[in-house]
Amino acid sequence: MKVRSITEGDTEVLVPIPVEGANFAPSAAPVFYNPVMEMNRDISVAATSAFVKRMEPDPEKTITYVDALSASGIRGLRIANETGIHTTLNDWSEEACDLIQQNIDNLEIGHNTIASHKNANVLLHEKHFNIVDLDPFGTPAPFLAAAARSVINLLEVTATDTAPLCGAHLNSGIRKYAAIPFNNEYHSEMGVRILLGRIARELSLQDKAMNPLLTHATRHYVRTYLEMKKGAKQADKMLKNMGFIVHCPACGNREAIYGLAAHIEEKCGRCGEKNMLGGPMWLGKIHSPDFCSETIAELEARNCGTKQLAIKMLELCRDELDIPMFYDQHLICKKLGVSASAIETVIQELRNRGFKASRTHFSGISFKTDADISDIEIIIADL
Protein backbone atom coordinates (compact mmCIF):
# COMPACT_ATOMS: atom_id res chain seq x y z
CA MET A 1 0.00 0.00 0.00
CA LYS A 2 1.33 3.44 -0.95
CA VAL A 3 1.18 5.99 1.88
CA ARG A 4 1.72 9.71 2.35
CA SER A 5 2.29 11.81 5.41
CA ILE A 6 -0.38 14.30 6.51
CA THR A 7 -0.73 16.45 9.61
CA GLU A 8 -3.99 16.99 11.47
CA GLY A 9 -3.89 18.97 14.71
CA ASP A 10 -0.44 18.36 16.21
CA THR A 11 -0.22 14.82 14.83
CA GLU A 12 1.64 13.62 11.75
CA VAL A 13 0.14 10.40 10.40
CA LEU A 14 0.77 8.10 7.45
CA VAL A 15 -2.42 7.56 5.46
CA PRO A 16 -3.06 5.66 2.21
CA ILE A 17 -2.71 7.49 -1.10
CA PRO A 18 -6.17 7.53 -2.75
CA VAL A 19 -6.36 4.90 -5.47
CA GLU A 20 -8.12 5.11 -8.80
CA GLY A 21 -11.56 3.55 -8.50
CA ALA A 22 -14.90 4.94 -7.39
CA ASN A 23 -13.52 8.40 -8.25
CA PHE A 24 -10.68 8.12 -5.73
CA ALA A 25 -13.26 7.69 -2.92
CA PRO A 26 -11.69 7.04 0.54
CA SER A 27 -13.54 3.70 0.70
CA ALA A 28 -11.72 2.51 -2.48
CA ALA A 29 -8.32 2.60 -0.69
CA PRO A 30 -7.07 -0.55 1.13
CA VAL A 31 -7.22 1.40 4.41
CA PHE A 32 -9.81 4.14 4.87
CA TYR A 33 -8.88 7.80 5.40
CA ASN A 34 -11.33 10.64 4.73
CA PRO A 35 -9.88 14.18 4.88
CA VAL A 36 -13.45 15.58 4.88
CA MET A 37 -13.89 14.26 8.44
CA GLU A 38 -11.12 16.51 9.84
CA MET A 39 -13.64 18.75 11.64
CA ASN A 40 -15.27 15.69 13.20
CA ARG A 41 -11.83 14.63 14.51
CA ASP A 42 -10.84 18.18 15.62
CA ILE A 43 -14.03 18.35 17.72
CA SER A 44 -13.40 14.79 18.97
CA VAL A 45 -9.98 15.71 20.35
CA ALA A 46 -11.34 18.89 21.96
CA ALA A 47 -14.47 17.24 23.42
CA THR A 48 -12.53 14.22 24.74
CA SER A 49 -9.98 16.51 26.36
CA ALA A 50 -12.76 18.66 27.90
CA PHE A 51 -14.42 15.52 29.28
CA VAL A 52 -11.17 14.13 30.71
CA LYS A 53 -10.65 17.44 32.57
CA ARG A 54 -14.16 17.05 34.04
CA MET A 55 -13.21 13.58 35.30
CA GLU A 56 -10.50 15.19 37.51
CA PRO A 57 -8.06 12.39 36.72
CA ASP A 58 -6.42 10.55 39.60
CA PRO A 59 -2.73 10.23 38.63
CA GLU A 60 -2.81 6.69 40.09
CA LYS A 61 -5.57 5.57 37.68
CA THR A 62 -5.27 5.26 33.91
CA ILE A 63 -8.09 6.66 31.76
CA THR A 64 -8.68 4.30 28.86
CA TYR A 65 -10.05 5.22 25.42
CA VAL A 66 -10.81 2.87 22.54
CA ASP A 67 -11.13 3.83 18.89
CA ALA A 68 -12.97 0.58 18.11
CA LEU A 69 -13.00 1.06 14.30
CA SER A 70 -9.68 2.80 13.62
CA ALA A 71 -8.70 2.33 9.93
CA SER A 72 -5.44 4.38 9.64
CA GLY A 73 -5.80 5.14 13.36
CA ILE A 74 -5.85 8.88 12.79
CA ARG A 75 -8.63 9.56 15.31
CA GLY A 76 -7.17 7.55 18.18
CA LEU A 77 -3.60 8.55 17.31
CA ARG A 78 -4.62 12.18 17.70
CA ILE A 79 -6.37 11.42 21.02
CA ALA A 80 -3.22 9.66 22.32
CA ASN A 81 -0.80 12.27 21.02
CA GLU A 82 -2.83 15.40 21.79
CA THR A 83 -4.55 14.47 25.09
CA GLY A 84 -2.10 11.93 26.55
CA ILE A 85 -4.73 9.38 27.68
CA HIS A 86 -4.23 5.63 27.24
CA THR A 87 -5.54 4.63 23.83
CA THR A 88 -6.40 1.34 22.12
CA LEU A 89 -6.64 1.47 18.32
CA ASN A 90 -8.60 -1.44 16.95
CA ASP A 91 -9.42 -2.65 13.44
CA TRP A 92 -10.11 -6.13 12.06
CA SER A 93 -8.20 -5.37 8.85
CA GLU A 94 -4.61 -6.62 8.90
CA GLU A 95 -3.44 -3.83 6.60
CA ALA A 96 -5.06 -1.23 8.86
CA CYS A 97 -3.38 -2.73 11.93
CA ASP A 98 0.05 -2.71 10.26
CA LEU A 99 -0.41 0.96 9.36
CA ILE A 100 -1.61 1.78 12.90
CA GLN A 101 1.50 0.11 14.39
CA GLN A 102 3.76 2.02 11.97
CA ASN A 103 2.06 5.27 13.02
CA ILE A 104 2.44 4.45 16.74
CA ASP A 105 6.16 3.77 16.20
CA ASN A 106 6.71 6.96 14.17
CA LEU A 107 4.97 9.11 16.79
CA GLU A 108 6.85 7.32 19.61
CA ILE A 109 3.63 6.96 21.63
CA GLY A 110 3.99 3.23 22.40
CA HIS A 111 3.95 4.06 26.15
CA ASN A 112 0.25 5.00 26.05
CA THR A 113 -1.04 3.50 22.78
CA ILE A 114 -1.64 -0.06 21.60
CA ALA A 115 -2.83 -1.52 18.31
CA SER A 116 -5.50 -4.23 18.49
CA HIS A 117 -6.53 -6.60 15.70
CA LYS A 118 -10.00 -7.86 16.65
CA ASN A 119 -13.62 -7.78 15.70
CA ALA A 120 -14.74 -4.61 17.52
CA ASN A 121 -17.71 -6.45 19.05
CA VAL A 122 -15.38 -9.09 20.55
CA LEU A 123 -13.02 -6.47 21.99
CA LEU A 124 -15.88 -4.43 23.48
CA HIS A 125 -17.44 -7.53 25.05
CA GLU A 126 -14.07 -8.53 26.53
CA LYS A 127 -13.04 -5.20 28.06
CA HIS A 128 -14.41 -2.10 29.70
CA PHE A 129 -13.08 1.29 28.60
CA ASN A 130 -13.67 4.69 30.20
CA ILE A 131 -14.28 6.19 26.76
CA VAL A 132 -15.60 4.25 23.77
CA ASP A 133 -15.53 5.80 20.28
CA LEU A 134 -17.51 4.27 17.38
CA ASP A 135 -16.74 5.74 13.96
CA PRO A 136 -17.99 3.11 11.48
CA PHE A 137 -18.83 2.96 7.80
CA GLY A 138 -22.51 3.94 7.79
CA THR A 139 -24.55 2.82 10.75
CA PRO A 140 -23.18 2.21 14.27
CA ALA A 141 -26.16 -0.07 15.03
CA PRO A 142 -24.21 -3.41 14.84
CA PHE A 143 -21.76 -2.14 17.50
CA LEU A 144 -24.12 -0.46 19.96
CA ALA A 145 -24.85 -3.50 22.14
CA ALA A 146 -21.14 -4.20 22.73
CA ALA A 147 -20.31 -0.49 23.16
CA ALA A 148 -23.14 -0.05 25.70
CA ARG A 149 -21.71 -2.97 27.68
CA SER A 150 -18.10 -1.77 27.53
CA VAL A 151 -18.40 1.97 28.18
CA ILE A 152 -17.87 3.40 31.66
CA ASN A 153 -17.85 7.20 31.32
CA LEU A 154 -18.23 8.58 27.79
CA LEU A 155 -19.67 7.13 24.58
CA GLU A 156 -18.76 8.89 21.32
CA VAL A 157 -20.66 7.79 18.20
CA THR A 158 -20.63 8.78 14.51
CA ALA A 159 -23.34 7.68 12.06
CA THR A 160 -22.87 8.40 8.35
CA ASP A 161 -26.03 6.63 7.18
CA THR A 162 -28.09 9.80 7.08
CA ALA A 163 -30.49 8.45 4.40
CA PRO A 164 -31.86 5.65 6.66
CA LEU A 165 -31.75 7.91 9.74
CA CYS A 166 -33.62 10.76 8.08
CA GLY A 167 -36.30 8.71 6.36
CA ALA A 168 -34.93 8.86 2.77
CA HIS A 169 -34.38 5.08 2.93
CA LEU A 170 -37.33 4.28 5.16
CA ASN A 171 -37.17 0.48 5.41
CA SER A 172 -33.43 0.48 5.99
CA GLY A 173 -33.94 3.01 8.81
CA ILE A 174 -36.70 0.91 10.37
CA ARG A 175 -34.47 -2.18 10.27
CA LYS A 176 -31.45 -0.46 11.82
CA TYR A 177 -33.14 1.84 14.32
CA ALA A 178 -36.53 0.17 15.00
CA ALA A 179 -38.18 3.56 14.60
CA ILE A 180 -40.06 5.56 11.98
CA PRO A 181 -38.45 8.84 10.86
CA PHE A 182 -40.01 11.61 8.69
CA ASN A 183 -38.19 12.71 5.57
CA ASN A 184 -39.49 16.28 5.88
CA GLU A 185 -38.11 19.80 6.50
CA TYR A 186 -36.55 18.86 9.88
CA HIS A 187 -35.17 15.49 8.71
CA SER A 188 -31.65 16.27 9.99
CA GLU A 189 -32.88 16.74 13.57
CA MET A 190 -35.11 13.70 13.11
CA GLY A 191 -31.97 11.66 12.27
CA VAL A 192 -30.21 12.86 15.42
CA ARG A 193 -33.16 11.96 17.63
CA ILE A 194 -33.74 8.55 16.01
CA LEU A 195 -30.05 7.67 16.57
CA LEU A 196 -30.10 8.90 20.19
CA GLY A 197 -33.32 6.96 20.82
CA ARG A 198 -31.71 3.75 19.57
CA ILE A 199 -28.63 4.33 21.76
CA ALA A 200 -30.79 5.09 24.82
CA ARG A 201 -32.69 1.81 24.43
CA GLU A 202 -29.42 -0.12 24.01
CA LEU A 203 -27.98 1.48 27.19
CA SER A 204 -31.13 0.71 29.17
CA LEU A 205 -30.56 -3.02 28.53
CA GLN A 206 -27.34 -2.63 30.53
CA ASP A 207 -29.04 -0.57 33.29
CA LYS A 208 -27.12 2.45 32.06
CA ALA A 209 -28.29 5.92 31.07
CA MET A 210 -26.95 8.77 28.95
CA ASN A 211 -26.62 12.49 29.43
CA PRO A 212 -26.05 14.03 25.97
CA LEU A 213 -23.21 16.57 26.19
CA LEU A 214 -22.89 17.51 22.52
CA THR A 215 -24.56 16.31 19.32
CA HIS A 216 -24.20 17.72 15.83
CA ALA A 217 -25.48 16.91 12.35
CA THR A 218 -22.87 18.08 9.86
CA ARG A 219 -22.79 17.41 6.10
CA HIS A 220 -23.39 13.66 5.71
CA TYR A 221 -23.04 12.54 9.32
CA VAL A 222 -24.28 12.76 12.91
CA ARG A 223 -21.85 12.77 15.83
CA THR A 224 -22.73 12.56 19.53
CA TYR A 225 -20.91 12.63 22.92
CA LEU A 226 -22.85 10.95 25.72
CA GLU A 227 -21.92 10.97 29.39
CA MET A 228 -22.77 7.67 31.09
CA LYS A 229 -24.75 7.16 34.27
CA LYS A 230 -25.19 3.82 36.01
CA GLY A 231 -28.20 2.07 37.53
CA ALA A 232 -31.72 0.92 36.73
CA LYS A 233 -33.24 4.07 38.28
CA GLN A 234 -31.11 6.29 36.02
CA ALA A 235 -32.15 4.18 33.02
CA ASP A 236 -35.85 4.49 33.95
CA LYS A 237 -35.43 8.27 34.28
CA MET A 238 -33.65 8.45 30.93
CA LEU A 239 -36.42 6.57 29.14
CA LYS A 240 -38.90 9.30 30.14
CA ASN A 241 -37.17 11.35 27.40
CA MET A 242 -38.31 8.88 24.75
CA GLY A 243 -41.43 9.55 22.75
CA PHE A 244 -43.01 10.39 19.42
CA ILE A 245 -43.58 13.36 17.15
CA VAL A 246 -47.07 13.79 15.77
CA HIS A 247 -46.85 15.87 12.59
CA CYS A 248 -49.53 17.16 10.25
CA PRO A 249 -48.05 17.35 6.73
CA ALA A 250 -50.95 19.52 5.57
CA CYS A 251 -50.54 22.48 7.97
CA GLY A 252 -47.14 21.83 9.60
CA ASN A 253 -48.61 21.49 13.11
CA ARG A 254 -46.48 19.22 15.31
CA GLU A 255 -46.53 17.94 18.86
CA ALA A 256 -43.97 16.07 20.96
CA ILE A 257 -45.57 13.20 22.91
CA TYR A 258 -43.40 11.96 25.78
CA GLY A 259 -43.49 8.30 26.83
CA LEU A 260 -43.56 4.98 25.02
CA ALA A 261 -47.27 4.34 25.59
CA ALA A 262 -48.72 7.67 24.49
CA HIS A 263 -52.23 8.25 23.15
CA ILE A 264 -52.03 9.72 19.63
CA GLU A 265 -54.77 11.74 17.88
CA GLU A 266 -55.30 10.45 14.34
CA LYS A 267 -56.43 13.83 13.03
CA CYS A 268 -54.65 17.18 13.32
CA GLY A 269 -56.34 19.38 15.95
CA ARG A 270 -55.59 22.46 13.81
CA CYS A 271 -56.73 21.53 10.29
CA GLY A 272 -58.42 18.11 10.64
CA GLU A 273 -56.09 16.39 8.15
CA LYS A 274 -54.44 13.03 8.94
CA ASN A 275 -51.51 13.17 11.38
CA MET A 276 -48.25 11.27 10.83
CA LEU A 277 -46.50 9.50 13.68
CA GLY A 278 -42.70 9.38 13.95
CA GLY A 279 -40.62 7.52 16.51
CA PRO A 280 -39.90 6.21 19.03
CA MET A 281 -37.09 8.73 19.38
CA TRP A 282 -35.12 10.80 21.91
CA LEU A 283 -37.00 14.00 22.81
CA GLY A 284 -34.64 15.09 25.60
CA LYS A 285 -31.77 17.55 25.39
CA ILE A 286 -29.03 16.89 22.88
CA HIS A 287 -26.36 19.27 24.27
CA SER A 288 -25.06 20.66 27.52
CA PRO A 289 -24.31 24.39 26.98
CA ASP A 290 -21.50 24.20 29.60
CA PHE A 291 -19.87 21.28 27.82
CA CYS A 292 -20.14 23.09 24.46
CA SER A 293 -18.31 26.07 26.06
CA GLU A 294 -15.62 23.79 27.50
CA THR A 295 -15.11 22.17 24.07
CA ILE A 296 -14.91 25.61 22.41
CA ALA A 297 -12.23 26.64 24.96
CA GLU A 298 -10.26 23.48 24.08
CA LEU A 299 -10.51 24.24 20.36
CA GLU A 300 -9.36 27.82 20.95
CA ALA A 301 -6.27 26.57 22.78
CA ARG A 302 -5.33 23.93 20.17
CA ASN A 303 -3.83 23.69 16.70
CA CYS A 304 -6.48 22.41 14.36
CA GLY A 305 -7.25 22.96 10.70
CA THR A 306 -11.00 23.54 11.09
CA LYS A 307 -10.84 25.67 14.27
CA GLN A 308 -12.98 28.62 13.08
CA LEU A 309 -15.65 26.46 11.44
CA ALA A 310 -15.83 24.11 14.40
CA ILE A 311 -16.12 26.95 16.94
CA LYS A 312 -18.86 28.65 14.90
CA MET A 313 -20.86 25.44 14.78
CA LEU A 314 -20.39 24.67 18.48
CA GLU A 315 -21.53 28.20 19.39
CA LEU A 316 -24.78 27.49 17.51
CA CYS A 317 -25.11 24.17 19.39
CA ARG A 318 -24.46 25.91 22.74
CA ASP A 319 -27.07 28.60 22.09
CA GLU A 320 -29.87 26.61 20.44
CA LEU A 321 -33.09 26.02 22.37
CA ASP A 322 -33.64 22.58 23.80
CA ILE A 323 -36.96 22.03 21.96
CA PRO A 324 -37.67 19.39 19.27
CA MET A 325 -38.01 20.15 16.19
CA PHE A 326 -36.76 23.24 14.29
CA TYR A 327 -38.90 25.26 11.83
CA ASP A 328 -37.78 26.02 8.26
CA GLN A 329 -38.54 29.69 7.56
CA HIS A 330 -38.45 29.30 3.76
CA LEU A 331 -41.07 26.55 3.79
CA ILE A 332 -43.42 28.64 5.93
CA CYS A 333 -42.87 31.72 3.71
CA LYS A 334 -43.59 29.68 0.58
CA LYS A 335 -46.87 28.47 2.05
CA LEU A 336 -47.85 32.03 3.09
CA GLY A 337 -46.70 33.54 -0.24
CA VAL A 338 -44.38 36.06 1.47
CA SER A 339 -40.65 36.61 1.08
CA ALA A 340 -38.20 35.35 3.67
CA SER A 341 -36.52 37.73 6.14
CA ALA A 342 -33.10 37.52 7.76
CA ILE A 343 -33.29 34.68 10.29
CA GLU A 344 -32.23 37.07 13.11
CA THR A 345 -35.25 39.30 12.29
CA VAL A 346 -37.65 36.36 12.69
CA ILE A 347 -36.01 35.32 15.97
CA GLN A 348 -36.11 38.87 17.34
CA GLU A 349 -39.78 39.28 16.45
CA LEU A 350 -40.68 35.97 18.14
CA ARG A 351 -38.86 37.18 21.26
CA ASN A 352 -40.56 40.60 21.06
CA ARG A 353 -43.89 38.79 21.20
CA GLY A 354 -42.91 36.84 24.32
CA PHE A 355 -41.76 33.55 22.82
CA LYS A 356 -38.43 31.80 23.24
CA ALA A 357 -36.49 31.60 19.97
CA SER A 358 -32.99 30.75 18.76
CA ARG A 359 -30.98 29.85 15.69
CA THR A 360 -30.10 26.19 15.16
CA HIS A 361 -26.91 24.48 14.02
CA PHE A 362 -29.05 22.19 11.82
CA SER A 363 -29.76 24.85 9.18
CA GLY A 364 -28.98 28.52 8.53
CA ILE A 365 -32.54 29.28 7.32
CA SER A 366 -34.25 27.71 10.32
CA PHE A 367 -35.06 28.50 13.95
CA LYS A 368 -36.27 26.90 17.16
CA THR A 369 -39.09 28.30 19.24
CA ASP A 370 -41.77 27.45 21.81
CA ALA A 371 -44.36 29.26 19.66
CA ASP A 372 -46.77 27.00 17.76
CA ILE A 373 -47.24 27.04 13.98
CA SER A 374 -50.32 29.35 14.18
CA ASP A 375 -48.39 32.04 16.08
CA ILE A 376 -45.33 31.58 13.87
CA GLU A 377 -47.40 32.11 10.70
CA ILE A 378 -48.96 35.32 12.10
CA ILE A 379 -45.54 36.67 13.06
CA ILE A 380 -43.87 35.81 9.74
CA ALA A 381 -46.80 37.22 7.74
CA ASP A 382 -46.49 40.51 9.72
CA LEU A 383 -42.76 40.98 8.96
Binding site per annotation, positions for S-adenosyl-L-methionine: 41, 75, 91, 120
Which residues make Cβ contacts (< 8 Å) with residue 17, sequence separation at least 6?
2, 3, 4, 29
CA torsion sign for 32, 37, 40, 46 is: positive
Nearer to ligand SAM, 68 or 371 (CB): 68
Kind plus residue range of the DSSP H or E element containing 189: helix 187-205
Give the residue, chosen from 38, 82, 91, 156, that forms a contact with ligand SAM under the rule CB under 6 A. Answer: 91
Give the residue, chosen from 3, 57, 84, 93, that forms a contact with ligand SAM under the rule CB under 6 A. Answer: 93
Q: From 53-61, 85-93, 210-218, 322-330, give the range in contact with ligand SAM by CB under 6 A.
A: 85-93
Give the residue, chosen from 120, 154, 217, 325, that forms a contact with ligand SAM under the rule CB under 6 A. Answer: 120
Distance from C-alpha of 200 to C-alpha of 280, rounded to nearest angstrom: 11
DSSP annotation of 33 reads: -
Q: Please check whether residue 37 is in contact with residue 56, taking contact to mean a CB–CB distance below 8 angstroms.
A: no
- Annotation: binding site: 41, 75, 91, 120, 248, 251, 268, 271
Using alpha carbons, select from 31, 128, 108 the residue that is nearest to residue 74: 31
Closest approach of ligand SAM to the CB of residue 381, in Å: 46
Is residue 71 involved in binding ligand SAM (CB under 6 A)? yes
Give the residue, chosen from 14, 39, 74, 148, that forms a contact with ligand SAM under the rule CB under 6 A. Answer: 74
Per-residue x/- track, 165-194, ligand SAM (CB under 6 A): ------------------------------
Is residue 98 exposed (0-12), middle (13-18) or buried (19+ Cβ within 10 Å)? middle
Nearer to ligand SAM, 33 or 327 (CB): 33
Is residue 33 involved in binding ligand SAM (CB under 6 A)? yes
CB environment 190-220: b (16+ within 10 A), e (fewer): bbbbbbbbbbbbbbbebebbbebbbbbbbee
Sheet holding 276-282, edge to edge: 254-258, 242-247, 276-282
Using alpha carbons, select from 207, 214, 191, 204 the residue that is nearest to residue 260: 204
- Determine the Cα angle at 39 with ends 215 and 3, to 5°: 135
Closest approach of ligand SAM to the CB of residue 34, in Å: 6
Concatenated DSSP letters of 42-55: HHHHHHHHHHHHHT
Tell me whether strands 357-360 and 363-369 are parallel, antiparallel or unpaired.
antiparallel
Closest approach of ligand SAM to the CB of residue 41, in Å: 6
- Determine the Cα angle at 123 with ends 65 and 76, to 5°: 30
Closest approach of ligand SAM to the CB of residue 196, in Å: 20
Nearer to ligand SAM, 117 or 356 (CB): 117
Kind plus residue range of the DSSP H or E element containing 301: helix 289-301
Closest approach of ligand SAM to the CB of residue 177, in Å: 19
Closest approach of ligand SAM to the CB of residue 268, in Å: 41
Is residue 159 involved in binding ligand SAM (CB under 6 A)? no
Nearer to ligand SAM, 67 or 298 (CB): 67
Give the residue, chosen from 12, 54, 84, 92, that forms a contact with ligand SAM under the rule CB under 6 A. Answer: 92
Q: Please check whether residue 229 is in contact with residue 213, taking contact to mean a CB–CB distance below 8 angstroms.
A: no
Is residue 135 involved in binding ligand SAM (CB under 6 A)? yes
Is residue 119 involved in binding ligand SAM (CB under 6 A)? yes
Closest approach of ligand SAM to the CB of residue 129, in Å: 15
Closest approach of ligand SAM to the CB of residue 218, in Å: 14
Is residue 70 involved in binding ligand SAM (CB under 6 A)? yes
Is residue 32 involved in binding ligand SAM (CB under 6 A)? yes
State phi, psi for 209 to the nearest 5 degrees: -135, 165
Binding site for ligand SAM (CB under 6 A): 32-33, 37, 41, 69-72, 74-75, 91-93, 96, 119-121, 135-137
